Structure 1
């Protein structure tokens, strides 16, 4: 079966979109604030940019799959939070609200037909893992261990992002307002690197990246399993 591997250009666009969603609002806030806008108005206007990116992606693709629904849901929550009248600190706490929502979504979908963690990783890794670069639909259908990997990954990412949201709330209400946007951006980087390290250690231990691991044994022919030292009985 031919794997539906995401082209490098698609992965590059996804990375640029993430960088835009994190970096553009921070840069816009400091630009608008430097031009004389109030802290509240600068935060409110800068919060619009990630929402525009999500809406554009849905319109461009012409479909709303599970991943698209996740991103649009984040957009709607962001818009509602931004429309609530209040202090700048409430708008700063919005990032904590979004990460809490995202973490809850990751945890809830960990037992769904297709976890959010699975859909995010599929866009980056499909066609690059497995004995023959099989489609992830095939891997999901035939390998219980493969399904377990993405359910566990959803729990890891969900738990970490909820903990991250608590720290963002604390920063929003205790630190100087003008420092929080930059610190929030730095925190995204720290969270991403930490989760990449933790999950990749788990993926390696689970055999995700090793075509010869026992994870993929049900996909291999008997002679292939013998070559990898599996299924060999003693004389």
Structure 2
């Protein structure tokens, strides 16, 4: 796994060089869903401090078992009745796709007297199988969520289609980047567009070339997935 992490890191550096960007501006999130703590600790010992989970139960359990200097990212679909398990554990919730979900996160944050950073998830390719707000509705959701107490919109997230050729997703990454630029220019209170979470194992290099600040790499680090967890 150390070799995988080193390879991904070198690839990120090369993609940044091609795009004229600083490697320090790109955060690698090790997507550790379905992987045991022993594997995560191997990545941790190799310097990884950013881990992404799709399931609430996994994030909660690993949060308790692993070192507290880790930043956890909730990247999977989040149901409103599970928000209470994530607020206070996730450094960043990537998958906010409705005002009702944002309201629930806000309520829980107020209750726990915490400030919570979120991203708005955009269904950039309008896929029926994917969560996320439609591109055309994203600004409306941002305006509504920005008014809520104790949550802060830090940017956007998208899951591009699964493709064999990452070039096929470049258009979607460009669209998300343009949306972030458009939103930033409107200077909406309580809205930053500093985070652009896009790109996974198959297309993270293309995403970086188009402006990704956070890339979510699982298989490229840990190998193929296994599914021992049942979510709560």
User: For this structure pair, what is the TM-score category when the shorter chain's length is used for normalisation?
Assistant: under 0.3
Identify the structure with the greater strand proportion: 2
Identify the structure with the greater helix proportion: 1
